[in-house]
Structure formats: C-alpha cells, structure tokens
Amino acid sequence: MTEHRNPTTITAQPGTPFVDIEREFEAPAARVFRAWTDPEALVHWLGPREMDMKVIEYDARPGGKYRYVHTDPDGAEFGFHGVFHEVTESERLVQTFEFEGAPGAPCLESLSFEDLGDRTRVRTHSVFTSVEARDMAVESGMERGITDSMERLDELLR
C-alpha cells in the first residue's frame, strides 16, 4: 500500500446528526472535481478496496440522479443512490445520499473543493435525518470505506 501524506479527518460530534470529512489532495481542484463527477473515474476509487463497483446511473448535474452498487468478495451487493442538487464546476457539489440497505434515511451532503493552487482541500458536510441514523452509519464501518476511498482517490490522482 502507498504511504499517504494527507490524512483523512472524519468528525462525528456526539449528539449531532452530522459527519464532517476533510482531506487534501496533491492535484488541482478541476482534476479532483472531475474524478468526483466522472463515473469512469469513480469506479476506480469510491468504496472499500476489496469491493468492486458498478455504476448504474450517474448524471452529475442539478436534478441528475445517480445509483451504484458495491459487491464484496462473497458476492453481497450494497446499493447507494441519490440526486444532485447543486453542481458548481471545480467548487461545490450538493447531493442526497442513501444506502439502499437503510431506505428512508437519506442524508444531504455538501462538498466543497477548495483550490490551493496545485493542491485541493475537499470538505464534506453530511446531514442525517437523526442522530440515530448518523450513529448507525458511523457504526456500520463507514470510516473504513471513507478512508479507503480517499486513499484510492489520492493514488488515482497521482
């Protein structure tokens, strides 16, 4: 595995329905944003390392929908879907995100892509429907999936 200089920070303050994620990448904002919104790039970095990903639908524009499925080594499938509400090139994404294994508990995610010249800081703020829904997501192993994804994206951008 590659050594990663840029740690991923995940914050889930007790008693709040929020998760905040921050990570810097050694690439310009336009390149990071493109990797985040191009389904052909997405399959190479989103999700835990041991899972395969299939994009069913991915239309990164306001009102556009997405759906993808991760498959683990045993063949179990984990689907996710949502709608893009705001897509501002190289700057911001706002989307819903719902794990199909817990229907009816979507979260609203706001992502900012801060241009630091030849580097980019990505911040994600996720708002869950309740503290309980947030806690269930955190307890599901979300941290490993996020950390793997951010490390894999870092590797792809290099």
The reported pLDDT for the residue numbered 5 is 74
Q: Is 86 helix (H, G, I), strand (E, B) or coil?
A: strand
* Residues 99, 137 contacting (CB under 8 angstroms): yes
d(CA 34, CA 52): 20
Q: Confirm whether pTM is higher than 0.85.
A: yes
CB-count burial class (<10 Å; 0-12, 13-18, 19+) for 66: buried
The reported pLDDT for the residue numbered 110 is 98
Successive 10-residue mean pLDDT values, the chain, 158 residues:
74 96 97 97 96 97 98 96 98 96 92 96 97 91 92 95
The reported pLDDT for the residue numbered 141 is 83
The C-alpha angle 153, 120, 156, rounded to 5 degrees, equals 20
CATH match for 9-157 among 3.30.70.260, 3.30.530.20, 3.40.50.300, 3.10.20.740: 3.30.530.20
Domain ranges of the chain: 9-157
> How is residue 72 written in tokens?
């683990």
Q: What is the 8-class DSSP label of residue 114?
A: E
